[in-house]
Amino acid sequence: MRIYLIGYMGCGKSTLGKRLAKHLNLEFVDMDHYIEMRNHKTIPQIFAEEGESEFRKKERKALEELSEFSNIVIATGGGAPCFFDNIDLMNQTGATIYMNIDPAILADRLIHSKTERPLIKGKTKEELIVFIDEMLTKRRPFYSQAKHEITEPDIELKVIEEMIS
Ligand code: S3P
C-alpha cells in the first residue's frame, strides 16, 4: 500500500498524512523533509543556493526513491505533481489523493504557518490570495489527474479508507 497526498502549500497534507498513516498502520513520510535529509540542506537553502530548477530535480529523485517504499503515506510537496511526469509516476505506483481546499482557507493557513516557504516569502495576505489563484490555474490540470479528490481536510478517515479500497 502506497498513498500520495497532493495539493497546494498549506492544504494540510502533512497533518492528514500523519493521521491517515496512524489509522491505516502505515509509515508516514513528508517529502520535503525527506529531500532535506537526503541533501543535508533545508528547502529554503536549496532554493537560495541552487535555484528552483535544481530543487525540482532533487524532488524528482526523492519521488523516484519514495515510489519504491511500501506501506507508506507520502505528503508530497505542493509543486511535486506539476513537474516532469511526476503525477504519472505517482498514479502508476500508488493511490493519489488531491486535497482540493478553498484558496481563501489556504491563504489564511499559510499566513499563520511557521514553515518557511521560498515561493511565498514576504507576501501579504492580499498578495497571497492573488498568487495562489494564479498558481492554482496552472497547477489544477496536474492536481486533477489524481485518482481521488477530497475537499475537507478534517475528513473522516473511514471515508478515505473506503475511497481507496
Ligand atoms: C512548494 C511547496 C513546498 C515545498 C517547496 C515548493 C511548491 O511544499 O516543496 O517550498 O512549489 O508548492 P509544501 O506543499 O509542503 O509546503
For the stretch 22-74, pLDDT in tens is 999 999 999 999 999 999 999 999 999 999 999 999 999 999 999 999 999 99
pLDDT band at 84 (very low <50, low <70, confident <90, very high): very high
Pocket test for ligand 1, best of 32, 52, 120 (most atoms within 8 A of CB): 32
Which letter, b or e, does each residue of 85-106 get, where b requires 16 or more Cβ atoms within 10 Å of its Cβ? ebbebbbebbbbbbbbbebeeb
* Separation of CA 65 and ligand 1 centre (Å): 18
Q: Which of 68, 13, 25, 6 is nearest to 161 (CA)?
A: 25
What order do you get walking across the sheet with 2-6 strand by strand? 27-30, 72-75, 2-6, 95-99, 148-150
* Separation of CA 83 and ligand 1 centre (Å): 12
* Separation of CA 23 and ligand 1 centre (Å): 25
Q: Residues with beta carbon inside 6 Å of ligand 1?
A: 9, 32, 43, 77-79, 117-119
Query: Which amino acid residue places its CA nearest to atom 2 of ligand 1?
Result: 78
For the stretch 43-57, pLDDT in tens is 999 999 999 999 999
Give the HSE-up count for residue 23: Cα atoms under 13 Å, Cβ half-sphere: 16
Residue that the C-alpha cell 535555484 belongs to: 51
Query: Which amino acid residue places its CA nearest to atom 11 of ligand 1?
Result: 79
